[in-house]
Amino acid sequence: MSSSGGMDRRGFLQGLLRSAAAAAAGGAVWGGFVATTKHAPLALRPPGALAGDAFLSTCIRCGTCVEACPYGTLSLATPGEAAAAGTPVFTPRDVPCHLCQDVPCTVACPTGALARSAVSDETGALDVDRARMGLAVLDRDHCLAAWGLRCDACYRACPLIDKAIVIEHSRNERTGRHAVLMPVVQDDHCTGCGLCERACVTEKASIRVLPRDVVQGRVGDDYVRGWDAEDEGRIDPATPVGSEQGNALDWLNDGEVDHD
């Protein structure tokens, strides 16, 4: 074999090895990217989005919802963002959801990843106020209203004013003479649209919208709001006195005290 032939063969093999190494590295990077973005706990989705894996398995990354949004609120996540690539997300501080009454993004979804039923009332009529994209959370330490300054920008921007955000009055203990007009988020009504976050005047928003699963706790079945008939209905009625379990005295004393 000639020396030139040997050099050509060696160069070919070296190029092949470099290509294989690059492919392996790319695969590792992409695999890591998929692993980190499959579950995106901080991603905010459009109105009616299914929860968690149900959304990821139903969304086909078609971008129809993005095209349907008249405000440019939605975008498709790109590699490197904290959401699965190609899925619709929005950033309230940049462009919040304007709660279109006809909910065009949800209506346009061809797969049900954005469920129309989640933004409809009992009759099936669209009601975007039922959207639960997230929940606004207030940072009291950096809220100007909490400092005693007059600021109600988030309150005024809320499309469900006096429902999703209310103002609570309290005495300014620092001055002793003024009132603190504090915005308070009502989680039963907050849609997570982010208009409050966009309106906040502080350099970094002191009220921010986060996914509800991140913000809210979960009480579980061990505790019940006794004043709420619907919640109380979750538990079985107490065993009546005189049943096979005995009465309360029998249970407390376990036979140690004669109560005849």
Counted residue by residue, the chain has a size of: 260
The per-residue pLDDT of the chain, averaged, comes to 83
- For residues 156 and 114, membership in a common domain is answered with no
pLDDT, residue 33, reads 45
d(Cα 210, Cα 43) in Å, to the nearest integer? 8
Neighbours of 192 (CB within 10 A): 26
Element (H, E) at 182: strand 179-185
Neighbours of 128 (CB within 10 A): 20
Residue 79: φ, ψ to 5°: -55, 130
Q: How many domains does the chain have?
A: 2
Q: Is there a domain that residue 196 lies in? A: yes
- For residues 45 and 122, membership in a common domain is answered with yes
- Residue with structure tokens 């020396």? 3
Domain with 74, as residue range(s), is 38-129
Q: Is there a domain that residue 198 lies in? A: yes
Per-residue pLDDT reduced to its tens digit, 98-136: 999 999 999 999 999 999 999 999 999 999 999 999 999
Q: Is there a domain that residue 22 lies in? A: no
pLDDT, residue 249, reads 56
Q: Are 154 and 165 in contact (CB under 8 A)?
A: yes
Q: Is there a domain that residue 152 lies in? A: yes
- For residues 191 and 147, membership in a common domain is answered with yes
- For residues 119 and 160, membership in a common domain is answered with no
Q: Is there a domain that residue 56 lies in? A: yes
Domain-ending residue, one of 96, 129, 162: 129
CATH of the domain at 186: 3.30.70.20
Confidence label for 241 from pLDDT (cuts 50, 70 and 90): very low
d(Cα 39, Cα 84) in Å, to the nearest integer? 8
- For residues 46 and 106, membership in a common domain is answered with yes
Domain-ending residue, one of 199, 216, 233: 216
- For residues 124 and 56, membership in a common domain is answered with yes
- For residues 118 and 172, membership in a common domain is answered with no
Per-residue pLDDT reduced to its tens digit, 23-69: 444 444 444 444 444 556 789 999 999 999 999 999 999 999 999 99
Judged by average pLDDT, the poorest of 58-62, 136-140, 180-184 is: 180-184
- For residues 192 and 212, membership in a common domain is answered with yes
Q: C-alpha angle with apex 29: 59 to 88, nearest 5 degrees?
A: 20
CATH of the domain at 51: 3.30.70
Domain-ending residue, one of 129, 159, 189: 129
- For residues 123 and 72, membership in a common domain is answered with yes
- For residues 62 and 120, membership in a common domain is answered with yes
Per-residue pLDDT reduced to its tens digit, 68-88: 999 999 999 998 887 899 999
How far is residue 218 CA from its own chain's centroid? 14
d(Cα 54, Cα 149) in Å, to the nearest integer? 44
Q: Is there a domain that residue 232 lies in? A: no
Higher local confidence (pLDDT), 249 or 138: 138
